[in-house]
């Protein structure tokens, strides 16, 4: 079992310099090790007190951005869009995934807003490609994380609702669209899709009574 001894140390001004102090301990006279430790601590303090530090501490270096990363992401996204327009879903998905890998690899010192906007856009595009390829669960997952990454962007809610419709989750799709409209109340895409979902829900409810 370890034991510890409590030593009372006094700190007093040193007349030789306004920033210097003297450290003393009543038991130091009987303990050479303690006396040496006090002298070292006193010397360290007095040395730091007179070190000529700059009056103002310089700020952090400017944020360093890899100039080639964004063009690379844009090039992959553009190629993915071309394949998407031709309904070449697998090629589009592959290119969007590659672009996401590059965007996600941004180091933490680069602006987070830049990364979140890139990632959200690519997730939205890949969600649309998944949906066209008939992979509604994957489309929903990408749209969900698009919303998480950029919650004030209407496109994520639009993509998410489209996937939920394919999954026959009409009530959930309606809730998603209402969340998106809370950010953009006049968004035409959200309003049009909301009207479609409301009509589909009405038809579904009527059919139960026929």
This prediction has a pTM of 0.67
Question: What was the pLDDT predicted at 43?
Answer: 83
d(CA 208, CA 35): 91
Contact criterion met (CB below 8 Å) for 118 and 96:
no
CA 107 to chain centre: 11
Contact criterion met (CB below 8 Å) for 145 and 174:
no
Kindly give the confidence (pLDDT) of every residue in the chain, 210 residues in length, as a single tens digit, with 9 standing for 90 and above: 556 667 777 778 887 877 777 877 766 567 777 778 878 887 887 777 777 766 566 655 566 667 788 899 999 999 999 999 999 999 999 999 999 999 988 877 777 777 899 999 999 999 999 999 999 999 999 999 999 999 999 999 999 999 999 999 999 999 999 999 999 999 999 999 999 999 999 887 655 554
DSSP string, 81-101: HHHHHTT-HHHHHHHHHHHHH
Torsion over CA: 115, 120, 121, 125 (sign) = positive
To which H or E segment does residue 20 belong? none
DSSP-assigned beta bridge partners for residue 23: 11
In three-state secondary structure terms, 126 is: helix
Contact criterion met (CB below 8 Å) for 128 and 87:
no
User: Within 10 A of 99 (CB to CB), how many other CB atoms are there?
Assistant: 25
Question: What was the pLDDT predicted at 157?
Answer: 98
CA 20 to chain centre: 47
Question: What was the pLDDT predicted at 180?
Answer: 97
């Amino acid at each position: 079992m370890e034991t510890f001894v409590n030593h009372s140390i006094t700190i007093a001004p040193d007349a030789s310099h306004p920033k210097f102090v003297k450290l003393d301990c009543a038991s130091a006279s009987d303990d050479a090790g303690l006396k040496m430790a006090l002298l070292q601590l006193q010397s360290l303090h007095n040395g730091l007190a007179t070190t000529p530090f700059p009056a103002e501490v310089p700020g952090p270096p400017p944020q360093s951005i890899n100039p080639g990363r964004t063009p690379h992401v844009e090039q992959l996204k553009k190629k993915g869009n071309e394949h998407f327009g031709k309904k070449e879903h697998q090629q589009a998905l592959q290119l969007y995934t590659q672009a996401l890998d590059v965007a996600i690899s941004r180091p933490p010192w680069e602006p987070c807003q830049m990364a979140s906007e890139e990632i959200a856009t690519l997730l939205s595009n890949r969600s649309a490609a998944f949906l066209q390829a008939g992979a509604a669960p994957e489309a929903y997952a990408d749209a969900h994380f698009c919303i998480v990454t950029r919650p004030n962007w209407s496109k994520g809610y639009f993509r998410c609702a489209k996937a939920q419709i394919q999954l026959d989750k009409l009530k959930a799709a309606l809730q998603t669209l209402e969340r998106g409209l809370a950010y953009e109340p006049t968004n035409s895409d959200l309003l049009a899709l909301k009207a479609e979902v409301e009509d589909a829900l009405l038809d579904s409810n009527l059919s139960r009574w026929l």
